Chains A and B, each alone.
Chain A
Amino acid sequence: MAGHCARAPHMTVFEDESGRSRAAPAARGTSWLRSPHPAVVADREGGVVEFNAAAADLFPRMGVGTWLDEVVPGWLADAHRRLSGPARTPRVPAPATAPAGSAPLRGRHDGRLLRAHPTESGHGDVAWWLVDDSDLTAARDALRTEQERTALLAEASTQLLASLNPDRCLETAALLAAAHLGDAALVISPPVRNRYAVVTAVGESFGRSQVAMDPASVPGLAEALQGFPPVPARWIDPAELPPWAVPEGFGGTPGSVVITPLPGHGVPAGVLVLLRRGGRRAFDASEELFARLFAARAGAALSAARLYAEQARITRALIAELLPPQLHHVRGVDFAGGYRTSQDTERIGGDFYDVHAGADDDRETLAVLGDVCGKGLDAAVLTGRIRSTVQALMPLAGDHRTVLELLNGALLTSRHTRFATLVLASVRRSGGHVRLRLTSAGHPPPLILRGTGHVEEVDTGGTLVGALPEVTSRSATVSLSPGETCLLYTDGITEARGGPLGSSMFGEDRLRSALAECAGLPAEAVVERLQMVAGDWVGRGPHDDMAVVAITAPHTTHLSAVNGHTRGRYTA
């Protein structure tokens, strides 16, 4: 046990004391009789020769001439026998291994912890000086317990706060409580539709279950689950514990049970139930206090995790419509999109793209890619508005100019002061070819990658939307042969700074040569390649939102609608 090691340095102190007492034989006489420390002198045979008042208090049956082993505890009598040589009755062969003063001798008597120091008087008698160590030992034990608990609380906080996942946090709380507070622990969460999630831990294993129950059936549980007003930890009769509350593997019925509320941030975080086996002592006051300190930490951590989970759930629901959509094969044409936000911590930004499938194979599919002035959440909110508006205007997409005019009007009347640039692409497959009508509204014109690797810029242009009362635009028509690609991109790609020399702009020329290398590639591969090239260009440096969409005429043999979820069908 570690306690021995911790105590070792003190041994020298005892030896000093022992040495002092040995060095003061002159003090013998009357003075030692008034010593506050018990002292007793016994002869070689083990008979009591002299003792002082303190010793008489300690050993009431002691008298001159009594045998030591009849009036003092066995450990002291045995020590005397070992020290004084041949025993009075050689019941125990005595190995003389412990010379006087080498190590403090310790033992219990009448609820006290005594330290005994022998002093040989020279003519066979041994004087035993006894020091009552009870208080010192108790203080030392209390200190060690406190140190262990502080370390444990710090460790518990670290583990509890490590994860913001409520399930993991519950597991951690139950496991820590089972390891350090009881033989088993239950963490009961506040009910969801009258069902209580219960995490149980016994030793190092845990389980979780859903329990439908009436909390009033367990004394103290209903109050503890309320969270407020705060109720103290409560002892309950183990017999009143319902069967579900005794975890599998606990073995038998618990000897003691305590229910402690887990205080949360203004809301109840749940209840901690600690169980101890029958044979083990019950919880004392300091253990109860410690359980409360632990419960406070576990409750705070659980509340934080639940709050985070709830916020994350809300965020997910709210940004679902703002996230870039997963693009795939639509109406005989391959679409692929890639998005990288300016901040790694964010998932949405000021760039956007969408593909709205045509009603049937003969109708055009509308693809849109754009860039709202600004970045981050505010810009993302406006991308959502633009995306919904464009989707609503889908029936009018036969005329891009009308769509842009209506969109411009909608943006001008909104309370946002931001403007946007975008490209509209109406796409229809015709035989093996893909026909595109493309219109840029203040946006970098799309690039066309031919089968030869030649890259062309589409001759389209127009004013941005959301800034001026009137918009103008010029559309262009393009035809793609199988394997050819039309690339829509935002200026986050071309304006990305980085490269081997650190701060060069990626620029249109590099984009064109990167694209030229992608001749004949499927849409996903084009997007992946460009994202990779641009990503390597910026490295770890700052950059704007970057979005690309590839619209590719499939090669004649094509496996359609494969997005990892469907097997797809073959078309010859």
Chain B
Amino acid sequence: MSTHTTTSAPDLATTRGRLWEALAARDEAAATAAVLDAHDAGAPAEDLLLDVIGAVQARVGAEWAAGRIGVAQEHAATAIQDRVVGALAHRSPDRGTAAGPDVRGAGQPPRRVTVACVDGEWHALPARLLAEVLRGRGFLVDYLGAHVPTPHLIAHLHQSGTDVVALSSSLPVRLPVAHAAVSAVQALGLPVLVGGAAFGPGGRYARLIGADGWAPDARAAAALLADGPCPPGDARPEAAGDLPHLSDQEYTLVTRARPRLVRHVLEGLPGAVPATAAYDDRQRERTAEDIAHIVDFLAASLYADDAGLFTDFVTWTAGVLRARGVGQDALVAALDLLADAQHDFPRARSHLAAGRRALVRVPAPSTPGPRS
């Protein structure tokens, strides 16, 4: 979400401050009042959605990554933010009906947009903000919310007469699911715009999976949709975004072997990092979850054929651990143990090696990351 400040009318920085304080106190009334007061004072709804609510949500994620707030606080803040968006949306009636006569053609901007999160994506706020921004700009918006199974999305599209689909996903591990969703929508002859951290720096994985468009933030997405850059949507039943590198089967086999790989690392860890031998059941389970996460990101990096995806995750994880006073010994050991188990997988080994190299110097955690 964009964090730059462009409007000055009521100082957005002040509003952000009030909202942040209210969220920290879990005070829903104060949070809503902060945003609605600014709206009363003339701040445009779109700026409030993106430069206040969106910006504060980015800060929530960053604070979590830095270990300054807990998961529960993050969830509470997100729930309150969602209600604040609802209160603000209620102020701005649907302008979709004013979008003009129903005569369009190729090259004219689409008007009916379906906004959804991919299957398994629970972070709905960015998609919700986009939906509200589009509504404010005069689009007719169907907002399907978090975690939309692809069959539900497709059924909705058959029944709704949507012109274009916007899909949101924050985790690169959902890339294969996002790819399936994009292909399924394109097979209906509809263009798909994607957004979110899952699609990589500069949207490089969006191109990889053959999405028709990618936007770094809600404003850019709205501009793209208004310009109508998406092709009129040729039906493409054949898989869009063919990925020849998957023919080495490494992605499939690593995904299938996930439980075995996790067990292998879990059993080898006490030998490599003696401190882990003293873990209780709960700590062991958390460790198993962390290892499963590493395997998931390794699989995603194989799917995208981009070692950078894996190294980004590894360095981010190391930063999160460091923020909690945990060293990276276990992380490095886990990478080594995983590499041991990948004799026949040259791509996986090279990604693991790249991840290990990246751990030599670890930058401070900055961007909201893959777990919350």
Contact = CB atoms under 8 A, between A and B. Distances in A.
Interface in A199-215: 203-208
Interface string A465-488: 000000000000000000000000
Interface string B23-35: 0001111101000
A501 B288 contact: yes
Contacts of A158: 235, 237
A165 B83 contact: no
Given A499-B288, A535-B120, A208 B75 contact: no
Contact of B189 (A159, A502, A562): A159
B188 A566 contact: no
Contacts of A406: none
B259 A559 contact: no
Interface in A502-560: 502-503, 513, 517-522, 524-525, 528-529, 531-532, 535-536, 555, 557-559
A532 B159 contact: no
B26 A565 contact: no
Output the residue of A519, A566, A568, A570 with the most chain B CB within 10 A: A568
Contact of A529 (B75, B119, B120, B288): B75
Instruction: Name the residue among B28, B82, B147, B187 with the largest chain A CB count within 10 angstroms.
Output: B28
B262 A500 contact: yes
A562 B35 CA distance: 15
A563 B86 contact: yes
B235 A165 contact: no
A158 to B, nearest CB: 5
A309 interface: yes
A562 B83 contact: yes
Q: Which has the most chain B C-beta neighbours within 10 Å: A164, A172, A500, A517?
A: A500
B120 A524 contact: no
Given A205-B104, A519-B72, A531-B122, A567 B90 contact: yes
B26 A500 contact: no
B362 interface: no
A183 interface: no
A500 B288 contact: yes
Nearest to A340: B147
Nearest to A555: B26
B79 A528 contact: yes
A494 interface: no
B158 interface: yes
A499 B70 CA distance: 22
A564 B32 CA distance: 12
A501 B259 contact: yes
A309 B161 CA distance: 11
A347 interface: yes
A500 to B, nearest CB: 4
A162 interface: yes
Interface string A447-480: 0000000000000000000000000000000000
Interface string B252-279: 0000001100110000000000000000
B181 to A, nearest CB: 12
Interface stretch (B149-157, B199-207, B213-221, B331-339): B149-157
B249 interface: no
Contacts, number: 147
Contacts of B105: 203-206
A345 interface: yes
Contacts of A535: 120, 122, 147
A371 to B, nearest CB: 21
Nearest to B124: A528
A309 B72 contact: no
Interface in B146-202: 146-147, 149-152, 155, 157-161, 187-190
Contacts of A204: 105-107, 232
Nearest to A570: B29
B106 A559 contact: no
Contact of B158 (A163, A520, A563): A163
A565 B90 contact: yes
A444 to B, nearest CB: 22
B158 to A, nearest CB: 4
Given A501-B288, A519-B72, A529-B75, A162 B187 contact: yes
Contacts of B188: 162-163
B280 interface: no
A247 B99 CA distance: 22
Contacts of B234: 159
A518 B29 contact: no
Q: Is the interface of B mostly helix, strand, loop or mixed?
A: helix
Nearest to A529: B75
A167 interface: yes
Contact of A308 (B152, B158, B160, B285): B158
B292 A500 contact: yes
B75 A521 contact: yes
Contacts of B72: 517-521, 529
B293 to A, nearest CB: 8
Contacts of A528: 75, 79, 122, 146
Interface in B82-102: 82-83, 85-87, 89-91, 101-102
A168 interface: yes
A559 to B, nearest CB: 5
Nearest to B88: A567
A312 interface: yes
Interface in B1-37: 26-30, 32
A500 B122 contact: no
A344 interface: yes
Contacts of B104: 205-206
Interface in A130-179: 158-159, 161-165, 167-168, 172
B38 interface: no
A206 B259 CA distance: 54
B50 to A, nearest CB: 18
B28 A559 contact: yes
A502 B259 contact: yes
A347 B151 CA distance: 10
Given A162-B235, A162-B237, A207-B103, A312 B29 contact: no
Contacts of A502: 258-259, 262
B178 to A, nearest CB: 14
Nearest to A567: B90
Contact of B82 (A312, A524, A570): A524
A528 B71 CA distance: 12
B155 A517 contact: no
A165 B157 contact: yes
B104 to A, nearest CB: 7
A535 B160 CA distance: 28
A58 B76 CA distance: 94
Nearest to B237: A158
Contacts of A159: 189, 234-235
Given A205-B105, A501-B263, 6 more contacts: A158-B235, A163-B157, A344-B150, A502-B262, A517-B71, A522-B28
26 contacts: A162-B189, A162-B237, A163-B157, A163-B190, A164-B158, A168-B189, A208-B102, A308-B158, A312-B158, A344-B149, A345-B151, A500-B259, A500-B292, A502-B262, A517-B70, A525-B78, A528-B79, A529-B75, A531-B122, A555-B28, A557-B27, A559-B87, A562-B86, A562-B87, A563-B86, A564-B86
Interface of A: 158-159, 161-165, 167-168, 172, 203-208, 308-309, 312, 344-345, 347, 499-503, 513, 517-522, 524-525, 528-529, 531-532, 535-536, 555, 557-559, 562-568, 570
